């Protein structure tokens, strides 16, 4: 799945994307997370698009530290269970290396109550650090790391 920066021509379509309602607590929806990313110079909004350039998913990359943080990743509810998340995560290392060549790793947190996402991240090559992030609004989160 191609990953592209969210540009003005994609913005409205990205804003319409959302995970299933039961998943919003974990990732948010683009209508909330995209404006927050646009207002923060260290966050970079990224669309997951199909081969025709139609947005199917969304996330932000946060370059606040040495590692790049993956935040708010989701595939729109209409496009789930089709391998799109796995496809996007397969493209992620190359995308991050191209945009942030000095970054040693991609780091994310995934809620302990979200085993489906946890399994997808592990299958994509992320490793559980064994740490839990306890500051999330939806409860404890596993800290995962993908070495670049």
Distances (CA, A) of 83 to 13, 40, 79, 123, 145: 20, 30, 9, 12, 21
Mean pLDDT of 110-118: 92
Domain ranges of the chain: 3-147
Cα 141 to Cα 113: distance, rounded to the nearest angstrom: 8
CATH for the 3-147 domain, from 3.20.20.70, 3.40.630.30, 3.40.50.20, 3.40.640.10:
3.40.630.30
Which residue, among 99, 43, 110, 107, has the nearest Cα to 74 in the 3D structure?
110
Residue with tokens 């269970």: 81
Phi first, then psi: what are they for 144, rounded to 5°?
-115, 150
pTM of the predicted protein model: 0.91
| Collapsed DSSP state (helix, strand, coil) of residue 27 | helix
pLDDT tens digits, 18-38: 998 988 888 888 999 999 999
* Residue 77 pLDDT: 78
Look at residue 38 in the predicted model and tell me its pLDDT.
95
Q: What is the 3-state secondary structure (H, E, C) of 86-115?
A: HHHHHHHHHHHHHHCCCCCEEEEEEECCCH
Check whether 64 has a pLDDT greater than 90: no
What pLDDT is stored for residue 15 in this prediction?
Answer: 96
Number of C-alpha atoms within 13 angstroms, CB side, residue 43?
15
- Please check the confidence at residue 118 and state whether its pLDDT lies above 90: yes
């Amino acid at each position: 799945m191609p990953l592209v920066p969210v540009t003005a021509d994609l913005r409205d379509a990205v804003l319409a994307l959302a995970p299933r309602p039961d998943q919003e607590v974990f990732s948010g929806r683009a209508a909330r997370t995209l404006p927050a990313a646009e207002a923060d110079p260290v966050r970079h909004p990224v669309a997951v698009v199909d081969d025709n350039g139609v947005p199917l998913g969304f996330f932000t990359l946060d370059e606040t530290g040495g590692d790049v943080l993956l935040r708010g990743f989701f595939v729109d509810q209409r496009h789930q269970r089709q391998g799109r998340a796995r496809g996007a995560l397969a493209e992620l290392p190359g995308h991050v290396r191209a945009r942030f060549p000095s970054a040693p790793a991609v780091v994310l947190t995934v809620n302990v109550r979200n085993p489906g996402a946890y399994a997808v991240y592990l299958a994509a090559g992320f490793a559980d650090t064994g740490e839990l992030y306890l500051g999330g609004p939806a409860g404890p989160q596993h800290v995962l790391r993908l070495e670049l």
